[in-house]
Structure 1
Amino acid sequence: MDGLLLFAHGARDPAWAQPFERVAERLRTARPHTPLALAYLEFMSPGIEAAAETLAAAGCTRVHVLPLFLGTGGHVRRDVPLLIDGLRQRHGDAVEWLLHPPLGEHEAVLQAMCDACLLTLT
């Protein structure tokens, strides 16, 4: 069974996470039978390890990890692959962890950002 792990940076202000929580809720509504977890790199919980345990316990044998970052900066380039390697070591062959490019590099997201910018000019 496939699962989805959304992975965001995190912040000290809990209000910062609200857009990510709304995305997670919309995904749960759109795909109610797909296990989904939202995790954070720092400052907030759950962390990636706890979220991964939740998905593995739900029976996921393949988990798509989607960084909710706008681009491939230091965290995405260095920290996230190390965390995914840790998950691979911890879960062995029981779960396949597929790391996807950050959300901000997807064409649909770039277009949505462009459209939102253009709306400010109308």
Structure 2
Amino acid sequence: MKALLLICHGSRTKAGTEKALEFAKRCMGASDYPIKEVCFLELSAPDISKGIEACVRQGAASICAIPVLLLTAAHAKKDIPEEIRLQQERYPNVEISYGKPFGVHDSLSHLLWERITESVDTFHKNAVILLVGRGSSDPDVKRDLNAIAANLQKNYEVPRVETCFLTAAQPSFEEMLRLSGWGYQQIIVVPYLLFPGILLSGMKKAIAQQQKQSDQNFILCEALGYHPVLQDVLLTRIEEAETKSAVV
């Protein structure tokens, strides 16, 4: 039998874990795999070894493992593949294919535009959109977030779009908040995060602090959350992984 294993990042909070599980299960509902399991890279249980074990225990002869991560960085390129290779040695008769994160996909710009227009009634002529990623030392993260920002600007007549990061990459979110010297009157902050949580709470505090020192209009949009667009992209990544016969 064929199995689908969705690998979420994991969260320090119970609410974060529950949101990830809900998201994964709703996405899995659109697939026809007879065996479907969810596991986590870190911070939450079950881990990847337990996820694969659960698939094998139910009779899986092949497993399609998909990282439920927004961008491609060390987790997707190194940490998860290494763990899967260990499990492949443990179950040599089970074929494991490994897919890609959401990454760069043109339809993601439509989801971003929806989140923006939910929060913004009128765009000021001197407006800027800040697309804020989690961040990583991996240069692919910066490249991909810039590509996603470019797709947003290409598909919609939006003001200037800038990218920044919450950690481990430049420019930082705090630096980009201090844009008063650039002449922007409206700063639309779009968190490129799957779910609200600790990181989004930190963004809210930083914006509130900057608002005290400025007469600019700061608008914070919602996190991406579960959305049919994300489900469709995930199903595309599953279809791509089905053509692979080995871990990449």
TM-score, normalization by structure 2:
0.44
Aligned partner of 1:115 in structure 2 is 114
Q: Any idea what SS the aligned residue of 1:103 has?
A: coil
Counterpart residue identity of residue 118, structure 1:
T
| Superposed displacement of residue 14, structure 1 | 1.1
Q: CA deviation at 1:103?
A: 2.5
Write 1 or 2 for the structure with the bigger share of helix.
1
Name the stretch that deviates more: 31-40 or 103-112: 103-112
1:70-92 CA distances to partner (integer Å, 9 max, x unpaired)?
Answer: 11111112111101111211110
- Higher RCO, 1 vs 2 (CA within 8 Å, ≥6 residues apart): 1
CA distance change for structure 1 residues 5 and 107 in 2, over 3 Å: closer, same or farther? farther
Asked whether the equivalents of residues 68 and 104 of structure 1 are also in contact (C-alpha less than 8 Å), the reply is: no
Which of structure 1's runs of 4+ aligned residues deviate more than 4 A?
Answer: 106-110
Structure 1 residues 28 and 6, CA, compared in 2 at 3 Å: closer, same or farther?
A: closer
Question: Counterpart of 1:8?
Answer: 8
Contiguous gaps of at least 5 residues in structure 2: 122-248
Q: Once the two structures are aligned, what percentage of the paired residues are identical?
A: 25
Structure-2 change in CA distance of 1:100 and 1:113 (3 Å): farther
Q: Counterpart amino acid of 1:74?
A: A
Q: Corresponding residue for 2:95?
A: 96
Alignment-derived partner of residue 37 in structure 2: 37
Residue 115 of structure 1 deviates from its aligned partner by: 2.9
Write the distance in 2 (CA, Å) between the matches of 1:73 and 1:39: 19
Distance in 2 (alpha carbons) for counterparts of 1:53 and 1:106: 32
Provide the C-alpha distance between the structure 1 equivalents of 2:109 and 2:84, rounded to a whole number of angstroms: 26
Tell me how large the CA RMSD over aligned residues is. 2.1
